[in-house]
Amino acid sequence: MSTGGYSTVAAVLNADLDWPDGRTVSRQQIEAWHTRRTANKAGQLPPSAIDKHIEAARTYPVWIFETEDWVLWVLPGVPDRPPALGWVFPTRKLVTQ
């Protein structure tokens, strides 16, 4: 499992999951879900941070998360972006060798 801030979480979600309509998740979306405590379709709140660096330099993340926790959190479905209503259901990408 990897750890990281909002940007790392967004990168992992975009790399590991297929999103409808070819959309991607941004760092800002992860921050919004975290700070607003947005529940997923299953009613679960976003994963809690495993660490917080209050005095972090500007280029270092303040909140540190386990990225796999976020992957598991988005799979049941997350709210669609306004003005659309409803839910977005990503799926895991198939790994081919």
Confidence of residue 96 (pLDDT cuts 50, 70, 90): low
How are beta strands 87-88 and 91-92 bridged, if at all? unpaired
The yes-or-no verdict on residue 94 having pLDDT over 90 is no
Question: Is residue 8 situated within a structural domain?
Answer: yes
Assigned domain for 15 exists: yes
Domain that holds residue 79: 3-92
Per DSSP, what are the bridge partners of residue 64?
51
In-domain check, residue 66 = yes
pTM over 0.85: yes
- Report if residue 82 sits inside a domain: yes
| Domain contains 97 | no
Give the model's pLDDT for residue 24: 93
pLDDT of 97: 62
Domain assignment present for residue 78? The answer is yes
Give the number of domains in the chain.
Answer: 1
Residue-wise burial string across 38-59, b where 16 or more C-beta atoms lie within 10 A, e elsewhere: eebeeeeebbebeeeeeeeeee
Q: According to the model, what pLDDT value does residue 61 have?
A: 84
pLDDT of residue 45: 97
Alpha-carbon distance of 5 to 28, in angstroms, equals 11
Q: pLDDT (tens digit, 9 = 90+) per residue, 23-74? A: 899 999 999 999 999 999 999 999 999 998 878 777 778 899 999 999 999 9
pLDDT score at 54: 77
